[in-house]
Structure 1
Amino acid sequence: MPTFEQLSCPIDKQSLSLQERSLVCPNGHSFDIAKSGYVNLLPVQNKRSKDPGDSKEMVSYRQSFLNLDHYFPIVKHMIDQWPDALKAQSPCRVLDAGCGEGYYLHHLLNEFSQRDVLLQGIGLDISKWAVTAASKRTKNATWIVGSNAGLPMPDKCLDLVLCLFGFPVFSEFYRTLSDQGYMLLVESGEEHLLELREILYPSIHAYKATHSDGIEGFTLVAESSLHYPFKLNSQDEIHQLLCMTPHIHKASYEGKEAVKELNEISVTAHVKFRWYQKATEEDHNAE
């Protein structure tokens, strides 16, 4: 069950304590816990728009697509690569930074519970619609509306930060990770959804690897990739996938119209995994 322990006020960084159905800091800032069980720790002054992040409609499309389990091999690959040091942590404090509607964290919690590995999961996303959906998916995690740019939690309170297809803020990940804590970046590979992109765009841009020069404060300890085909069997499934990706906004009108004519398509999943470990403060200061 979510504990809401070790969370910080997003306004003044003070510790939050649970008082009935609210989290309250010593200076009187109060944040109500929603009926579905999440808490909104994204103050109005920290929003760049009235309704930041994924829209309610986009979250619905993503949830429908992910529930088909075409991406479940990503969960399995993460578990297969899980560091022994994290398996030994009890509990292992995990933040899914940019959790979306909670698919990955939900399955990680379930899978590890069957292996007698205790995870204490926190899911955070800037979209209130995503976090609302996540909090309805499972009650076995702490769900937060918040921003990676200012994680509402104290220093060194996490053992692992996951960032799956998201927007990492490495300084905040470094701050909140315990000494020798881990960070996992999961990103699209060169051939990810290539068959769909070839229909959407007149040409495909050359692939550029991210963070090829390394990440300050972190040491790359393992990397791997996952490459497999899957099939979408209806226009509804194709539309769900398209609408949960940036391609729905980036692709041309002609490309999107061509995709509407499809009733099935086989596509490639190509996903890259990079495990990093937090450098010691001495090594970090020496960089």
Structure 2
Amino acid sequence: MFMGITELAQYRCPLCQQALLLNEKSYRCKNNHSFDQAKQGYVNLLPVQFKHSKAPGDNKAMVQARRAFLDKGYYQPLVDSMLALYHQYGDKSAAVFDAGCGEGFYTHQHKTQHNSVYGVDIAKETIKIAAKRYQECFFSVATLSDLPFIDEQFGWLYSVYAPILEHEFTRILQKNAYLLTVTPADNHLFELKSLIYRQANKHDTSKQVIEQLTLVEEQRLNYSMDFTNSDDVLNLLAMTPFAFKASETLISQLTQQTHFTCQADFVLRLYQK
């Protein structure tokens, strides 16, 4: 994977915040902190002393379920809406950042001939998959609360279901650059939740976690997902935080179902710095 000098300058050392440069297979700062590039092409910028658990982030089963589900295209309408906003508002030559990128499903679809695209996730297993699969993008293991980039590096930043940390996102955004957030709307997966909870609550969309940036546009995206394969439904369930509440009886019922319909319901909010 070729990386130019301008792109390399975007990374910063998680220990001393100095710029990291790639020399052969290691990223090194002027204070001689060194981070090896993995054979898959990613770099781990989450020092062991910054981890809150042995393997932070999603476990392997969740990763595999999400990858299988997303590969079927059920969330492609969401990607299309995100890309439409990017092409309408974004600086096409500026770097793009995917905050909480997972396996790179959204990351690689933002890559063009004219931009560089970066993805960060705290889960090493997901980054390993992303880097191996989408070698035209740049991936690193890191925490969103302390992003491994120097200030004002990105023209477009998006967060799909990841924690939204305004101060840190704003720090790495260029002046007049954009932040796109994707969060669940009222009825997202309501039919699936209704199978699990006696009284399923709708998502609360009133909370606005962005305070300093200017809201440019807000969109609601709602559509039905029709499933004829029980594996797809089970993979969707495994992706969600309420999977742990699903009984063995429900799992058995879903396995035997030949048809299931569920809403996808998203709120897209575009902000400008």
Q: Structure 1-normalised TM-score? A: 0.88
In structure 1, the partner of 2:197 is 201
Residue range with higher mean Cα deviation, 248-257 or 48-57? 248-257
Partner Cα separation in structure 2 for residue 211 and residue 182 of structure 1: 20
Shift of 1:85: 4.3
Shift of 1:166: 0.9
In structure 2, the partner of 1:219 is 214
1:10 aligns with 2:5: no
The structure-2 alpha-carbon separation of the partners of 1:90 and 1:196, relative to structure 1 and needing over 3 Å to count, comes to: closer
Shift of 1:174: 0.8
SS in 2 for 1:101: coil
Deviations 1:78-105 (A, max 9, x none): 122236442xx35221110000100011
Deviations 1:108-165 (A, max 9, x none): 22xx45xxxx221000000001111111221111101001000011111111111001
Deviations 1:200-257 (A, max 9, x none): 1111124312533x62221111000111112222221111111111121244565545
Structure 1: give runs of 5+ residues left out of the alignment.
279-287
In structure 1, the partner of 2:135 is 139
1:274 aligns with 2:243: no
SS in 2 for 1:104: coil
Does the Cα contact within 8 Å between 2:96 and 2:157 map onto a contact in 1?
A: yes
Partner Cα separation in structure 2 for residue 190 and residue 85 of structure 1: 27
Does the Cα contact within 8 Å between 2:152 and 2:175 map onto a contact in 1?
A: yes
Partner Cα separation in structure 1 for residue 60 and residue 236 of structure 2: 15
Shift of 1:187: 0.9
Partner Cα separation in structure 2 for residue 164 and residue 31 of structure 1: 28
Partner Cα separation in structure 2 for residue 22 and residue 210 of structure 1: 45
Partner Cα separation in structure 2 for residue 220 and residue 269 of structure 1: 23
Does the Cα contact within 8 Å between 1:163 and 1:185 map onto a contact in 2?
A: yes
SS in 1 for 2:95: strand
In structure 1, the partner of 2:259 is 264
Partner Cα separation in structure 1 for residue 65 and residue 18 of structure 2: 37
In structure 2, the partner of 1:172 is 168
SS in 1 for 2:96: strand
Q: Which runs of 4+ in 1 moved over 3 A?
A: 250-261
Q: How does 1:102-121 map to 2 (within 5 A)?
A: 102-109=104-111, 112-113=112-113, 118-121=114-117
Q: Aligned-residue CA RMSD in angstroms?
A: 1.8
Q: Structure 2-normalised TM-score? A: 0.92
Aligned identity (percent) is: 36
Partner Cα separation in structure 2 for residue 175 and residue 210 of structure 1: 25
Partner Cα separation in structure 1 for residue 88 and residue 264 of structure 2: 27
